């Protein structure tokens, strides 16, 4: 039940991000759309790892070693998402750097100014 709700939220965010990328003309809004897309994907990956009535995979005084494997959620999607978040942020930084250079050369933030290589 919980993972179904979180999964639906993540998939909705992916759709909204994709709509934002395809529709807007302002480069900064396209970048925000990409960021939404990435966040939605991370939420989907984490939601797939949920085990019913599970808790965080951290062993402390409330979770002993013997009952660990029956009460924790899947740790592998969380580990993958940690890497993915950092790389998503790095790609956003490069996109913003490109935006600054494009604004320097075209003096406008609209993507319609960059259509000369359209096929």
Partner 1 sequence: MIRSLFTIFAIVLLGVVFATIAVSYSEQQSLRPLAESYVQLVPRDLGAANVVTGILLTYRAFDTLGEVAVLFMVAASAGLILGTRQRRPEERGEPAQEAARPSSEIVQTGSQILAPLISIFAAYIIMNGHLSAGGGFQGGAVIASCVLLILLTYPEHRINVEFLSITESLAGALFVLTGIVGLIAAGGFLDSHILPLGQFGAFFSAGAIPILSALLGVKVGCELSVILDRFRPQP
Identify which range of 16-24, 28-36, 109-117 contacts partner 1 by CB under 8 A: 16-24
Cβ partners under 8 Å of residue 25, min gap 6 = 110, 111, 112
110 is a site residue for partner 1 (CB under 8 A): no
Cβ partners under 8 Å of residue 53, min gap 6 = 71
Would you call 26 helix, strand, or coil by DSSP?
strand
114 is a site residue for partner 1 (CB under 8 A): no
**Total residues binding partner 1 (CB under 8 A):** 50
| Near partner 1 in 36-75, by CB under 8 A | 49-52, 56-60, 65, 68-70, 72, 74-75
96 is a site residue for partner 1 (CB under 8 A): yes
């Amino acid at each position: 039940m919980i993972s179904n709700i979180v999964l639906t939220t993540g998939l909705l965010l992916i759709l909204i991000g994709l709509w934002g990328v395809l529709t807007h003309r302002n480069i900064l809004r396209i970048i925000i759309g990409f960021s939404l897309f990435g966040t939605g994907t991370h939420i989907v990956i984490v939601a797939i790892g949920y085990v019913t009535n599970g808790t965080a995979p951290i062993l402390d005084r409330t979770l002993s070693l013997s009952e660990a494997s029956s009460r924790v959620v899947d740790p592998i999607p969380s580990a993958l998402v940690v890497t993915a978040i950092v790389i998503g942020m790095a790609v956003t930084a490069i996109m913003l750097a490109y935006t600054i250079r494009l604004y320097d050369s075209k003096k406008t933030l609209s993507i319609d100014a960059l259509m000369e290589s359209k096929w």
